[in-house]
Structure 1
Amino acid sequence: MIFKKISIYLFIIGFSFMTSMLFADSKAQEDLEQELTAQAAVLMDFNTGRILFEKNGNQVIPPASMTKVMTLFLTYEALEEGRIHKEDLITIDEAGSSFSRPPFSSLMLLEEGQQVTVLDLMKGLAVASGNDAAYALAHILGPGKEAFVDKMNAKARELGLKNTRFVDPDGWSEFDAVSPLDFASLGRAYIQEYPEALVELHSLQFIVYPLPENLPDNVDFRIQVPRKKLNTNILLGKYEGLDGLKTGYIDESGFNFTGTAFRGGQRLIAVIMGIHSESYYQGIRRRADETELLLDYGFNEFYPQFPKAPELQNLRVWFSRDEYIQPQVSEGPAVMMRKDEMNSVYSQIHINDDLKAPISAGTGIGRVDYYLEGTFLGSSDVQISHDVEEGSIYQRVRDSLIRWWEKRSS
């Protein structure tokens, strides 16, 4: 009777604790939703692609200059394939000149006849958000705008971005379209494929252009004085761990921002879209503040946790001395989860059960896949924990006969 009372008491405590945890999680999410003025927002765990927060994630909004992430994605792809090289010197023509772009648009200050390396064009695109740099790269890689835009949309389809359509390489058009969920996926794929982009492009706080080496002596340029162009990402150096990614603004979309930060071995991607404000500078500040709110929510409410490995049954090893072995599961991936979510993680086991001696310690024989709410979290390797030696002649002959009989009977 006493044991029964204690059990009931412990159940009540446990239930109350779980209820309070769920309430706290729900309260944090509700508070965030109320603070965000953005039309749409998404927070993604980079390692798994799991969505940790979503507000109108499928709403289609012009991405504005965030479009340039796709332009850079294709540029890195061309570099990887050897079609261009970072040190290649490009002579700017009319298509890439800042004087060919609309007034008041973001510019690197390229001018016809200047000579610029591919890498410097990429810096001008990522840091100064230069529309002229976007067209200069598109002219090389398309070749030309139309061919390059076709490649942008082909890449979007390859990545499975269903709500995405590009009409230009710089995002100036109101007819470019993307959803926050799509853009988070694009940003994740871009960083996965080319992590060096964060170091050599997106984390730079400024560039200086044009420099004397960009101005050949035989040309009379209108722009000759070097100018310091600050990164449009004002959170660089101010938010812990933030090292990218891209801002955007046109009247039709409002203020957009995709920010990514890395802390404690974990990376988050936050996408804010559709902030409208009374002034341009207020909008710049607000999109940064709301990106901070999203990232803070992720780092404060979710923690890196290791999924518990399932217990595996002993496996038969044919022609071996031991006959049966206990497989070893390596530690699972660290996953950003709330404290109460660990019990909801489930696993699927994939093992090669046709094992034959000899087998060396550490040999991989399968994997364990982990899932949460249908989202794939990562895998653990299943390995042989020790050397498995061949058995005696009797054991080998016996196992050969057993396998022959099983095959004949099947």
Structure 2
Amino acid sequence: MRRPFQCAKLLILQLSLAMLIFPPAGLSAQASPGKISAPPSINARAAVVIDAVTGTLLYAKNPDLALPPASLAKLVTLHIALKEIDSGRLSYEELVEIDPRDCSPQIPYGSAIMYLYPRMKVSIRDLMLGAAVVSGNDAAYALARRISGSNEAFAIRMNEELKELGFDGLTFEEPSGLSERNLVSARQFALFCKLYMEMHPQALQELHSVKSIEFPRLEHSAPGYVPEGRIVQYNRNPLIFNYPGADGLKTGYIIEVGFNMVATANREGTRFIVVTLGGTGSAYSSGGNQRTKDVTGLLDWAFKNFATVSLDPGPLPSPRAWYGAKRTASLRMLQANAVTIPKDRIGELTLGLDVPSMVDAPLARLARIGRMVYYIGEDDVAVIDLVAAEAVPRGNFFRRIFDGFIRFFVNIFGSRER
């Protein structure tokens, strides 16, 4: 399994290569060979569209401009919480006693909250839903305090985690997104979201596509507080209610940046991620509507023009491993077997393998051995590395002598290798 750092670096490389294949639509209307319509004009100051499988960059407007993410920051907070759960250091059912410092009025007036009350006992699952669904700043604070002891310590954890993943353009001072000193770029945040969905595939269904939560419930009674009646809070992402295929992720707003959003949608095996930052509006409702218009316009454009395609290469070859403890080297794909291409070029797509028939041991696991190349005509449009699925250590003395003898005659007579 690839380390997250390797995944992030690989995705950054894929985006760089994609710039050559698909010049960003925000920078050039001629996105690639093929009939591609012009992208919509958008209000946001910065935006990107990427393919969620291949990482191919399809649209870019000021992709590296550093802007506050607002509540998009909660995705990093949720990522760390999910990692803690995966490690066994945290569980969904654990009850957290809510600290008064994580409740209103300590949370700025008018900001999003899930209505935590001091000394409530709330499960980690409810806190995560509160952060993901209703964008509760109090939920983010409570998660941070449980994991790291304070917002400040948790922000250090956020930055360390992002550095390990290879994202040098994402920095945070607190976990909720309230601070304008949190900074991201649209390009790197899209990459982070791609990796987030790969590392936590359950998150879209269990957190981000949940349409509402009932909170607080009677079980959340605390000294001086008893919930009255049924209280339902709805997801702040309008796309999951009315955009076909949409199932996440997050909206955000603070006055210092305006209206932000990261959204994803899947249709017939093609999934895109859209990030928009810095949308404007004369009022909260108009700015939110414009943000939705920007994101749906970019998704519509992407689904109209592009598709994620995968061709079956059949069984991968197993090169002869000379001098090895194993006779052959098993191969695997380092990246996803997929390519993003204009829809009108799908019929022209072909696939080729470039793999040597023989390799020399020792071979490290994930050592690059060959490649799989997607072509449109004679032009290669995507390269997928083929690597050693398992290490092939050097064989013992007798194996090396025997292989040396056989290879001597193979080289002389061109005989078929053993």
- Taking structure 1 as the reference length, the TM-score comes to 0.75
Residues 336, 136 of structure 1: alpha-carbon distance in 2 compared, 3 angstrom cutoff: same
- Counterpart of 2:221 in structure 1 is 215
- The answer as to whether partners of 1:256 and 1:287 remain within 8 angstroms in 2 is yes
Does structure 1 residue 280 correspond to structure 2 residue 284? yes
- Counterpart of 2:17 in structure 1 is none
In 2, Cα distance between the equivalents of 1:124 and 1:256?
19
Residues 355, 63 of structure 1: alpha-carbon distance in 2 compared, 3 angstrom cutoff: closer
Given candidates 56, 75, 82, the residue that maps to 2:81 is 75
Residues 82, 196 of structure 1: alpha-carbon distance in 2 compared, 3 angstrom cutoff: same
Residues 374, 258 of structure 1: alpha-carbon distance in 2 compared, 3 angstrom cutoff: farther
Does structure 1 residue 60 correspond to structure 2 residue 66? yes
- Counterpart of 1:388 in structure 2 is none
- The answer as to whether partners of 2:180 and 2:256 remain within 8 angstroms in 1 is yes
- Counterpart of 1:321 in structure 2 is none
- 1:369-384 superposed matches below 5 A: 369-370=372-373, 378=384
- The answer as to whether partners of 2:114 and 2:130 remain within 8 angstroms in 1 is yes
Given candidates 267, 277, 294, the residue that maps to 1:290 is 294
- Counterpart of 2:98 in structure 1 is 92
In 2, Cα distance between the equivalents of 1:328 and 1:150?
39
Residues 173, 122 of structure 1: alpha-carbon distance in 2 compared, 3 angstrom cutoff: same
Provide, for residues 198-228 of structure 1, a one-character-per-residue CA deviation record: whole Å limited to 9, x for no partner.
1111001111111011114xx1117645422
Task: Please list every run of 5 or more consecutive structure 2 residues that lacks an aligned counterpart in the other structure.
Answer: 1-29, 323-329, 362-367, 390-400, 413-418
Displacement of 1:57: 0.5
- The answer as to whether partners of 1:48 and 1:376 remain within 8 angstroms in 2 is no
- Counterpart of 1:162 in structure 2 is 168
In 1, Cα distance between the equivalents of 2:383 and 2:215?
44
- The answer as to whether partners of 1:89 and 1:116 remain within 8 angstroms in 2 is yes
SS at match of 2:259: strand
Does structure 1 residue 403 correspond to structure 2 residue 407? yes
Given candidates 143, 146, 152, the residue that maps to 1:146 is 152
SS at match of 2:77: helix
Task: Please list every run of 5 or more consecutive structure 1 residues that lacks an aligned counterpart in the other structure.
Answer: 1-18, 319-326, 357-364, 384-396
SS at match of 1:99: coil
Residues 401, 214 of structure 1: alpha-carbon distance in 2 compared, 3 angstrom cutoff: same
- The answer as to whether partners of 1:333 and 1:379 remain within 8 angstroms in 2 is no
- The answer as to whether partners of 2:270 and 2:307 remain within 8 angstroms in 1 is no
- The answer as to whether partners of 1:50 and 1:375 remain within 8 angstroms in 2 is no
- 1:305-316 superposed matches below 5 A: 305-306=309-310
Given candidates 89, 99, 117, the residue that maps to 1:111 is 117
- The answer as to whether partners of 1:261 and 1:269 remain within 8 angstroms in 2 is yes
Does structure 1 residue 179 correspond to structure 2 residue 185? yes
Displacement of 1:178: 0.3
Residues 123, 376 of structure 1: alpha-carbon distance in 2 compared, 3 angstrom cutoff: farther
Backbone CA RMSD of aligned residues: 3.8
Provide, for residues 346-391 of structure 1, a one-character-per-residue CA deviation record: whole Å limited to 9, x for no partner.
97734461599xxxxxxxx9653447999966457999xxxxxxxx
Residues 20, 350 of structure 1: alpha-carbon distance in 2 compared, 3 angstrom cutoff: closer
Displacement of 1:112: 0.4
Residues 403, 203 of structure 1: alpha-carbon distance in 2 compared, 3 angstrom cutoff: same
SS at match of 1:41: strand
In 1, Cα distance between the equivalents of 2:31 and 2:216?
59
In 1, Cα distance between the equivalents of 2:43 and 2:219?
45
- Counterpart of 1:349 in structure 2 is 354
Which structure's CA Rg is the greater one?
1
- The answer as to whether partners of 1:41 and 1:271 remain within 8 angstroms in 2 is yes
Does structure 1 residue 258 correspond to structure 2 residue 262? yes
Displacement of 1:142: 1.0
- Counterpart of 1:360 in structure 2 is none
Displacement of 1:284: 1.0
Displacement of 1:306: 3.5
Provide, for residues 128-182 of structure 1, a one-character-per-residue CA deviation record: whole Å limited to 9, x for no partner.
1000000000001112111100011111212222221101100001111000001
- The answer as to whether partners of 2:73 and 2:176 remain within 8 angstroms in 1 is yes
In 2, Cα distance between the equivalents of 1:212 and 1:237?
28
- The answer as to whether partners of 1:164 and 1:179 remain within 8 angstroms in 2 is yes
Q: Percent identity?
A: 33
Query: What amino acid is aligned across from residue 333 of structure 1 in structure 2?
Result: N
Displacement of 1:246: 0.4
In 1, Cα distance between the equivalents of 2:258 and 2:163?
26
- The answer as to whether partners of 1:95 and 1:139 remain within 8 angstroms in 2 is no
Provide, for residues 182-202 of structure 1, a one-character-per-residue CA deviation record: whole Å limited to 9, x for no partner.
110111111100011111110
Detail structure 1 runs of 4+ shifted over 3 Å in the superposition.
19-24, 222-226, 306-310, 312-318, 327-330, 339-352, 369-383, 397-402, 404-408
Displacement of 1:342: 8.5
- 1:30-49 superposed matches below 5 A: 31-32=39-40, 35-49=41-55
- Taking structure 2 as the reference length, the TM-score comes to 0.74
In 2, Cα distance between the equivalents of 1:314 and 1:227?
60
Given candidates 122, 129, 140, the residue that maps to 1:134 is 140
Query: What amino acid is aligned across from residue 220 of structure 1 in structure 2?
Result: G
Residues 355, 111 of structure 1: alpha-carbon distance in 2 compared, 3 angstrom cutoff: same
- Counterpart of 2:20 in structure 1 is none
